[in-house]
Structures are given as structure tokens and as C-alpha cells.
Structure 1
């Protein structure tokens, strides 16, 4: 795998969970969330992207268990359109079914209370998305099939 950071976003109507890899692409860690409601959202993300210079960005693609796009999918595509206006970094869509559930379970297992978990669940979901992308990159040479 190429050396460099990778970034994942878990888009939500209130918060955007963020995860970032180490330079070797082995470890994914949660990062501070962005507020979806911020009028400066894309300026804040542009600064973040400029600071960390990722090789690629992965955005969770919310689908129903049946594989059909969810109602949230349209909001995610609008978010990606905004990202494309601020960066030339490749952006991939990755199936995010059950990532929030997985993130919540991991926080519970780590002993984080339900109340405290609300502040961390989006970043935990982003970590799950990024880990999945990096695993796919190791196995297949690309983080996802779908380049946004």
C-alpha cells in the first residue's frame, strides 16, 4: 500500500463522523466530527484536507439491507458534490450498511456510556468505513469499486 493518509466521512444530518489513517495506512483513528449545520462546513473540511493531504477520501454510502439506496443517499451525494468543489483528492463511495450499529457496539464494549457514545458514534462509524476501505485496498488495490 502506498504511504499516505486516508480519510473517511460518515455523513449525518447533524454531525459528520471523521476518521483518518496513519501514514502507513494500517490504523484508522477517530477524528473530531464536523457539524453538518455549520455555514462554514466546506471551508472547514478544505482546511482539514489541505492539512492532512490524504491519498483518497471514502464516504459511507447508506443503503438498506436489501442493497437499495436509502433516503439519506441523496444527502450523501450532495455532500460529495460539495467535496468535489473543494478538492481534487479521489473520493470513493463505500457501502456503509451497519457501520453505525458496529460503531455503537464497539463503544459499548469499550465501556462508553450511551450518553457519552452519542458524541463518538459518528466517528466510530467513520473508523469502520475507513478500516473496510483499507482492507479492500490491501486485498484488491483500490479502497472501493465506486469512484464518486
Structure 2
């Protein structure tokens, strides 16, 4: 299904958000939201779904390297459930995607680009959301043959 996807990295303090292009090929950083118990971050995510005509939301599931759910995974599952409830009337699905090592990868990428310290903390959640969404897009992309190439040559 064509359409934009939203990637979400749920943290205890911040929520990183990334957005795909309409073709579902490339994820880019969008915004970092403050995570609060009042649910204003969830309200803002719903508004972003509407604003960008999002067809699917991908929430990162931080499983352990052994593939088990720890406390952070339970938090992400609860967050995804709450978001699902808020998006139910819109019919926008919320899916969980394994996000092992995405924050580590995002930190390495930012460091390689010269973004360090305080500047890195401001964007790490968005970068992790990009990693989550891009990984999801890459594994879901259907490869279609190029009509201009011929394997019979």
C-alpha cells in the first residue's frame, strides 16, 4: 500500500518521530516530542497522522539481544496500544517493529557526521526513529523488476 508511514521511537523522556516519503522508500527525521503522562505526545502523534495523511504507524519495539521483552519493550507495547486506541476511528494501523541496536546505530551515524554532545541529545530520538522506520521500510519493500532490463540478454 502506497502512502506515508510514521516511525516512532518511544523513550521515557522523549519520543522521536520520523516520516517516510509517499512511496515508502526513504525515512527522514520529523520531530522530537516530550513524553508525558497526560498524553499530549499521543495527541500530537494523532495530529501528525492527520497532517501527513499517514497510512501506517511503526513503533519501535526495544527487545533484548536474546529476543526477549524487557521493561522498555513493555512500555513500547503499552504506548502502541494507547496510540492504536486513539487512531481506531481513522483506521490507521499501528505496528511494532524490532528496534534492537537502533539507538546505538543512530548515535554512531550522528558521531560520524560530527554531531556530538548536547547537539546529539537533541536529535538522537529522531535519528533512532529514522533507523526504526527505514529498517521497516527496507524489509517490507516489494522488489519489482525493472521493465527496461532483460535477464534474458
Is the shorter-chain TM-score for this pair beyond 0.5, marking a shared fold? yes
* Alignment check: 8 A CA contact 1:19 1:123 kept: yes
* Alignment check: 8 A CA contact 1:28 1:131 kept: yes
Give the gaps of 5 or more residues in structure 1: 141-148
* Alignment check: 8 A CA contact 1:108 1:114 kept: no
Residue 58 of structure 1: aligned partner:
58
Residue 118 of structure 1: aligned partner:
121
Question: 105, 108, 125: which one pairs with 1:105?
Answer: 108
Q: Aligned-pair distance for 1:84?
A: 1.1
The answer to whether 1:16 aligns with 2:15 is: yes
**Matches of 2:132 and 2:52, distance apart in 1:** 18
CA RMSD of aligned residues (A): 1.4
* Alignment check: 8 A CA contact 1:7 1:18 kept: yes
Q: For the pair shown, which has the larger CA radius of gyration, 1 or 2?
A: 2
Alignment of 1:85-100 (within 5 A): 85-87=85-87, 88-100=91-103
Residue 35 of structure 2: aligned partner:
36
Give the gaps of 5 or more residues in structure 2: 144-153
The answer to whether 1:135 aligns with 2:134 is: no
Residue 144 of structure 1: aligned partner:
none
Q: Aligned-pair distance for 1:11?
A: 0.3
**Matches of 1:85 and 1:92, distance apart in 2:** 13
